[in-house]
Structure 1
Amino acid sequence: MTTLQPTPAPTTVPGLPPLAARVRAVPSSVIRDLLALIERPGVISFAGGLPAPELFDVEGARASFDAVLAEAGPRALQYSPTEGNRALRDAVAARYTERGLPTDGADVVITTGSQQGLNLLATALVDPGDVVLVESPSYLAALQCFALAGAKLVAVPSGEDGVDVEALAALADRWAPKLLYTVPTFQNPTGRTLDLANRQAVVAVAERHGFRVLEDDPYAELRYSGEPVLPMAALTGPGRVVSTGSFSKILAPGLRLGWVRTDPSVRAGVVVAKQAADLHTSTVDQAAAAHYLAAGRLDAAVDRTRQEYRRRRDALLAGLPAALPPGSRWTTPDGGMFVWATLPEGWDTTALLPRALEHDVAFVPGAPFFPGDPQPSTMRLSFTTYGPDAIAEGTRRLAAALAG
C-alpha cells in the first residue's frame, strides 16, 4: 500500500544546539510532501495546484529575455534596487488601477513570488505573541508564515457565503488582533469569492477594531464567469489593507515574481525585511517580465489561459457527481484553480488518500488547511494541470477509489 509520510521532524545531534524553536514548531507542508510522492508516471493528480505548462508563452518569454540581454547587456545581470524594477512596478500598478484601485508604481515592492510577500509582511507587521486572524480553512503556506513569525493564529469561521462577520467582530473584541489574513477572490483552498457586501463588512470591522487586513490576491485575473469584485484595498483608506499578488498564476511560476502593494505606513518595514531576506529579486527576470508586459503579450496569454481553465473547471465539476459519495457537496468557483469538496459525515479523506494513490489519482486532504478544529471529510481538488479528458479519467479513478 502506498502511504503518504510527512517530512521527518528535525533531529538533534549530540554536542550541537538544536534548530530554532520556531522552525521545530512548524510542520512541513503536506502539499509539498505529497507532490514528491505523486511524481511517478501515470498518476493523475488533483493535488498540486500547478499552472498548466503547455500554456506558458515560452516564445514570448524567450524573446523578452533575448531583448533585455541584448539591450541592457551586463546591467541586466547586476544588482538592482530592493524595491524592484520601476517599469515592472509601474506595470503592476497600472493593472491595479484598471481593476478600480488607483495605484502608483511607488506603492509596489517586487518580491520573489507572492509567498515571499507574505513572509515579508509577517516579518514587518507581526511580533511574537501577536494574534493573527485567519479564515478557516485557509492557505496552508500562509499559516506557516505567521507561525514562523511567532503569531497566535485564531480561526475565523468562513464558508461559501464569505467571512462570518459577526464572528469576526466577536473575535476582534476578544483578541485585539494585529492582522486578518484573507484570500478574497477564488480562495485557496475553497475557490470561493467574497462578494462586495462581505468585503465591505470585513473592512468595516477592521476599521472599528484597528487591525490591518492582508489581502492575498494571486488568482484575481483567472475569472471564468461572473463579474469582477473591487479589491478590498479600494474600499477603505490607505494603510488599512495591504495586498499581495503574483505573476506565477498568469505568466509563469518559475520566474518567482510577485509583489506587495504597500503604503507609507508599511513600505519601509517591507523594504528592510526584503533587504535582510535577499537584497532584491532577480534583476534579469524582472527586466524580462517588464519587457513582456510592455510588448502587450500578457493579456493575450491570460485570455488563452482563462479559456482553457474554464474547460477544465467544467470537466471536473461534470465528473464529481459520479465520483463522490451521495450526500457530498462542493464549491462551484467562478475562477481560480480549486474546487473544495465535503464528503458526508464520517468520511476521512486523509485515510482515503492511500487508496486513491493505489488507483493512480491524488487529491489534498482538507484537514491541514484548518488552523484549528479540522474537518476530516474535506478535500481540495485542482483542475488546472490536465486537459478535460485526463480530468474525466481522474474522476473515474476517484470514483473507483472511494467505492473500494
Structure 2
Amino acid sequence: MKNDNRASLIAEILRDRIAGMRVGQKLPPVRELSKEFGASPATITQAIASLSALGAVRAEPGRGTFVAGRDRLPEPDYSWQSATLGRARVDARRAARLGAYAGTDDIQLSWGYLAPELQPLDELRTLGARAARSPRAWSMAPATGLADLRRVFASEFHADPAEVLIVPGGQQALVFAMRTLTEPGTTLITESPSYPGAIIAAQAAGLDLAAVPADADGIQPDRLADALERTRATLIYLQPCYANPTGAVLGSGRREEVLRLAARYGAFVIEDDWARHLSIDGTPPSPLFTQDPDGHVVSIATLTKPVAPGLRVGAIIARGPAGERLRTARIADDMCVPPLTQEIALSLLTSSAWPRHLKRLRNRLAERRDTMIAEAHASLPGVRVAHTPRGGIHVWARLPEGTDTTALTAAALDAGVLIGDGSHFYADEPPAPCIRLSYSAASTPQIAEGIRRLAPLLDAG
C-alpha cells in the first residue's frame, strides 16, 4: 500500500515535468530516476507504467521512455461516476489494510500469510513443474473441482466428496457463500472481534452486521441467542478453531449450544476453518461440520494460509439443498478453478512432503509465537496479552486505556513496522484499544526488533 502511494506521488511529479518537455524527448533512465527520488526501481517502473496508461509517455524496449504526443493531459472528470455508483458497500480502510504490503525494509507484523522461508517452495516448484506437464492441467475441470481433490478435502470433514466445492481461496469462498445463502439486506451475525475480511465480505454481499461478543472460549451463546431473537438472522459467521485475531477456540459446550441455536432459529453457520493446519500446541478440535448432520454448518477450508499466498485453493463443504445451490451458483462466477492450481494442490496434499511441511511449520511458528509474546511482555509493559494462542498466526494485545490505535498504527508504519489496527476487527465501536500482532511473516529477529520499535511509540502516546 505504501509503495503504491509512493509510485502515485512520483507519477504526479513526473507528469508535471513532462508538461514542460517536448514531444519525443527522452526521460532519464529508471536507475537515474530511482536515485533522484530515493525509490526502488520497481516503484519508478510502476510510476512510469501509470503515465504510459494515461498516454503521457511511450516506452520503447531497448531505447527508453519518451514523451508522447500530448504535451498536456486533460484532467478527467469522474463526478458522474460518484452520482451513478451511489454509496460504497465495502469499507475502504479495512480493504486497504488487508492488502497492505511491507516494503523491503519494513517489518511485517500484520500479514496473515507465511513468510517465504516457512512456505514449502521447493516442493511447490517440483510439483508445479510436474503438474504443468500433465494434459489434465490444461483442460477444463469440472466446475465443482477435480474429483480427487474433493475427496481429499472431504476426508477431513467426514463428508461425502459430492458435498465439496473447490473454490479459489477462502476470501472468495466467504463472499460467495454469504451472497448465495441469504439475500441482500438481511443480517449476518459475527463474533466480535472478528476477521476484517469477513466483515468486508458481508458488506460486498449487501448484508447488515450484528456483532456478538466473544472471549477466550469463542462466541458467547447467551448473547448469540439474544442476537438471533432480535434480528431473526439466518446466517452466522464463526471461526471455531484459532480465531483471527484472538486465537480463541470454541469450547465443547459452546459448540453444542451454537448448533442447538442454529437448529432452533433455522440458521446457517459459516465455519471459517482457515487455521486447522496451523496448530502449535496439541491437536485442533474436529470441524464443527462433523457434529452437524442436518446441514446447518457450511464449512470453508483453505490451503492459502498453511502453504503459500499464491496457492489460491480452498473448499466449501455443504449438505442438502444449500450445498446444491452453492455448487449450481458457482458456475456463474467462473467456469472452474484453474486445473493447474488444483493439480499442484492435490499433489502436495497426497505427498509425503505435506506432513513434513506441517511438522516443520508447527515448530517454527511456535518459536515465533513465543518470541513475540516474550518480547511484548519485556518491551511493552503497558500492553496485556491475556491469551497465548494454541494455534493460528496472531496475538491479540490490549493497550493502555485511551490509546489511539489508528494513530499508533500510522506511527508504527512510519517506524517501519506494520501492525493490525484493532478497530478494524470490530463491526461496531471497539470496547477497548487493541492491536493484532502476526508472527508468521517475520523472522524471529525481525519480531524482536519490531516489538522494540513499538515501545517508544506507546510511551509517546
Q: Same fold (TM over 0.5)?
A: yes
- Whether contact under 8 Å (2:383, 2:397) holds in the other structure is no
Cross-structure match for 1:294: 350
Cross-structure match for 2:408: 352
Cross-structure match for 1:25: 89
- Whether contact under 8 Å (2:412, 2:457) holds in the other structure is yes
- Are residues 1:121 and 2:177 paired? yes
Q: 1:144 aligns with which of 185, 200, 216?
A: 200
Do the aligned partners of residues 25 and 12 (structure 1) sit closer, same or farther apart at CA in structure 2, a change above 3 Å counting? Answer: farther
1:68-83 matches, within 5 Å, as 68-70=131-133, 72-73=134-135, 75-83=136-144
- Are residues 1:394 and 2:457 paired? no
Q: 1:324 aligns with which of 356, 380, 383?
A: 380
Paired AA for residue 27 in structure 1: D
CA distance in 1, matches of 2:82, 2:92: 21
- Whether contact under 8 Å (2:111, 2:440) holds in the other structure is no
- Whether contact under 8 Å (1:349, 1:376) holds in the other structure is no
- Whether contact under 8 Å (2:269, 2:298) holds in the other structure is yes
- Are residues 1:62 and 2:125 paired? yes
Q: 1:226 aligns with which of 251, 259, 282?
A: 282
- SS of corresponding position for 2:278: coil
- Whether contact under 8 Å (1:350, 1:376) holds in the other structure is no
Give the number of aligned pairs. Answer: 389
- Whether contact under 8 Å (1:135, 1:163) holds in the other structure is yes
- SS of corresponding position for 1:82: coil
- SS of corresponding position for 2:236: strand
Cross-structure match for 1:93: 154
- SS of corresponding position for 2:190: strand
1:62 Cα deviation from its structure 2 partner: 2.2
Do the aligned partners of residues 245 and 319 (structure 1) sit closer, same or farther apart at CA in structure 2, a change above 3 Å counting? Answer: same
Gaps of 5+ in 2: 6-75
1:5-32 alpha-carbon deviations (Å, 9 max, x no partner): 9xxxxx983555756447x132125364
Cross-structure match for 1:210: 266
Do the aligned partners of residues 342 and 17 (structure 1) sit closer, same or farther apart at CA in structure 2, a change above 3 Å counting? Answer: closer
1:316 Cα deviation from its structure 2 partner: 0.3
CA distance in 1, matches of 2:346, 2:283: 28
1:273-296 alpha-carbon deviations (Å, 9 max, x no partner): 321111111111101221222223
Paired AA for residue 79 in structure 1: M
Query: After the TM superposition, which parts of structure 1 deviate over 4 Å for at least 4 consecutive aligned residues?
Result: 14-22
- SS of corresponding position for 1:255: coil
Q: 1:249 aligns with which of 305, 308, 314?
A: 305
Do the aligned partners of residues 63 and 174 (structure 1) sit closer, same or farther apart at CA in structure 2, a change above 3 Å counting? Answer: same
1:84 Cα deviation from its structure 2 partner: 0.3
309-318 or 341-350: which moved more? Answer: 341-350
Cross-structure match for 1:8: none
- Whether contact under 8 Å (2:419, 2:437) holds in the other structure is yes
Task: Name the larger-Rg structure.
Answer: 2
1:160-309 matches, within 5 Å, as 160-309=216-365
Cross-structure match for 1:43: 106
Paired AA for residue 348 in structure 1: D
267-276 or 76-85: which moved more? Answer: 267-276
1:206-242 alpha-carbon deviations (Å, 9 max, x no partner): 1122111110011012111134312111222231101
Paired AA for residue 92 in structure 1: F
1:340 Cα deviation from its structure 2 partner: 0.6
- Whether contact under 8 Å (1:212, 1:240) holds in the other structure is yes
1:104-162 alpha-carbon deviations (Å, 9 max, x no partner): 22111100001111111112112012111111111111111112222111111111232
- TM (norm. structure 1) is 0.90
CA distance in 1, matches of 2:366, 2:382: 26
Do the aligned partners of residues 208 and 322 (structure 1) sit closer, same or farther apart at CA in structure 2, a change above 3 Å counting? Answer: same
- SS of corresponding position for 2:224: helix
Cross-structure match for 1:381: 437
CA distance in 1, matches of 2:182, 2:129: 41
- TM (norm. structure 2) is 0.79
- Whether contact under 8 Å (1:84, 1:109) holds in the other structure is yes
Gaps of 5+ in 1: 6-10
Paired AA for residue 44 in structure 1: I
CA distance in 2, matches of 1:243, 1:354: 35
Do the aligned partners of residues 205 and 290 (structure 1) sit closer, same or farther apart at CA in structure 2, a change above 3 Å counting? Answer: same
How high is the sequence identity, in percent, across the aligned residues?
A: 33
Q: 1:13 aligns with which of 78, 83, 87?
A: 78
State the superposition RMSD in angstroms. 2.3
**Higher RCO, Cα 8 Å, sep 6+:** 1
1:55 Cα deviation from its structure 2 partner: 2.2
Cross-structure match for 2:145: 84
